[in-house]
Amino acid sequence: MLSVCIYCGNNKTKALDECGECLKTPQSHTEVIHSIIMSYSEEEPYLNFISKDELEEYRKSIINGLPIKISPDTFQMAEEAFGAVGSLRSPQALKYFSRISDLVIVVVMLLILAFILLGL
């Protein structure tokens, strides 16, 4: 995962973490979305909104103190993806899903057991 700090252009490991160089963390909604757009991952290509080359172009703008120009379409796409990923990755949702999967496993095992006992 390659993330570019939207304040100084430095590389970060995670889009929403504090920057090791300027110690700033994305705060506002716009900053969070911009930080997500300024990320590139080989492993999770569906989370990429811009190409690596574009990312480097943006980095140059940031270093030169120019405003980050992101198209409204890209911004909206990132916003929607962040909404979906954000709700799925929240600890509460994860707990909920893991509880359901535990229950599913128990039910399936009971069904198998019932089939073995009754099916003979």
Q: Which residues here bind Zn ion, judged by CB under 5 A? A: 5, 7-8, 10, 19, 21-22
We find the least distance from the C-beta atom of residue 4 to Zn ion, in angstroms, to be 9
Helix-, strand-, coil-residue percentages of the chain, each rounded to 5: 60, 5, 35
We find the least distance from the C-beta atom of residue 103 to Zn ion, in angstroms, to be 45
- At position 8, the amino acid (one-letter code) is C
In the complex with Zn ion, the residue whose CB is nearer, 20 or 83, is 20
In the complex with Zn ion, the residue whose CB is nearer, 50 or 59, is 59
We find the least distance from the C-beta atom of residue 78 to Zn ion, in angstroms, to be 19
Give the Å distances, CA to CA, from 51 to 5, 21, 69, 104. 16, 24, 15, 40
We find the least distance from the C-beta atom of residue 22 to Zn ion, in angstroms, to be 3
Cβ atoms within 10 A of the Cβ of 108, count? 10
In the complex with Zn ion, the residue whose CB is nearer, 30 or 77, is 30
In the complex with Zn ion, the residue whose CB is nearer, 4 or 78, is 4
What's the rounded Cα separation, in Å, for the pair 113 and 98? 23
Cβ atoms within 10 A of the Cβ of 100, count? 10
